[in-house]
Amino acid sequence: MLQQKIKKLAQNYWQEIIDIRRHIHTYPELSFQEYQTAEFIVSVLDKLGVERYANVADTGTIAYIKGKNPDKKTIVLRADIDALPITEENNVSYKSKNQGVMHACGHDVHTASLLGVIKILQDCKDDFEGTVKCIFQPGEETAPGGATLMIKEGVLEAQHQTQKPKSIIGQHVMPYLPIGTIGFRSGVYMASADELYVKVIGKGGHGATPENCIDPVLIASHIIIALQQIISRIGSPKIPSVLSFGKVIANGATNIIPNEVYLEGTFRTYNEEWRENAHQKMKKMAEGIAEAMGGKCEFTIVRGYPFLKNEENLTKRLKNFAIEYMGEENVKDLDLWLAAEDFAYYTQIIDGCFYRLGTRNEEKNIISGVHTPTFDIDEKALEIGAGLMAWLAVKELSME
């Protein structure tokens, strides 16, 4: 009966959740600048009469829904609130009004869904025991990641007369999953992500007299190609890894060899020992190639998020709860995903599960991937996302 009640409430609140999502989508803010977004979240929580604590890690917010016997058990639900530096190209009524900023990764969906969960659970407080701690986290898209700051603020500790949480659950849109479906993966799921910044220093000059130059363009070319050997010949094929350079600046001309070349890239993998080894190998190889060719190389690695691992028992339980709510045919198994998420920091401390919410609808031409200027969702996902997450929360609270 509780499942049917939650489904009915999700349906009843669906339009309100849509309105919340569209407001947030219209006024996106970049990482750690989400001041208006945070004010809006607090205003919604205050209208609901929810216990909340604002200005956590500056723009974050914590809210509590306490059922019967609130000290029995506490679990955490997490949503991220920041947007991306992308100019939106969708022609919709809720198109971004902040030029060059867009909710292109679905964080507006995550925030609206969690506010929907709170609305639902407020109406079900007599139907479950324990406490649901809801965190609205800033800065997922930018290192060091808002999760690290929220953790420092104690969100995974006993706070505000509640006990230490037992587990944390996160939900993220997936434009490759059809609307009406959900995806889970136990164990290792998402990759670590490091940023690579490389300066290759040579000696510029006229393109017609290369003998008088130390060509940093040629050196950089050798470095890019050689570094791929670290993945294909030094790294174990049993450990998925990706090394990609997406930015190369050689500010010369058809007949000008520049003094310097700049490279920017990313390295991603699933093993911390190999991650550290690869860092050393990349730096040593790049510097050695540059020196052998008469130049210099400054190789900087900005360490990003760790790999994300879903605790297997928790994920198995949540998947079964999702099958109860959605039907077995609508709950999918996910493959490894080499994107990165700062939710991984939470899972290093307590049991966590990060699952995927299908948003794709080919009939409506809603097919764009995240981080693109045409990303959008089938808004039916908001009803599913809020209802399912509320159901997962109360079911997990019921477990001994």
What are the tokens at 311? Answer: 């605790």
- Rounded CA separation 374/91 (Å): 9
Is-catalytic flag, 378? no
Catalytic pick among 29, 88, 108, 140? 140
Catalytic pick among 34, 80, 82, 311? 82
CB of 358 closer than 8 Å to CB of 178: yes
Is-catalytic flag, 82? yes
3-state secondary structure 298-356: EEEEECCCCCEEECHHHHHHHHHHHHHHHCHHHEEECCCECCCCCHHHHHCCCEEEEEE
> φ and ψ at 269, to 5 degrees?
-160, -175
* Dihedral over Cα of 117, 122, 128, 129: its sign: positive
- Rounded CA separation 262/285 (Å): 16
- Rounded CA separation 143/28 (Å): 19
Catalytic residue annotation: 82, 140
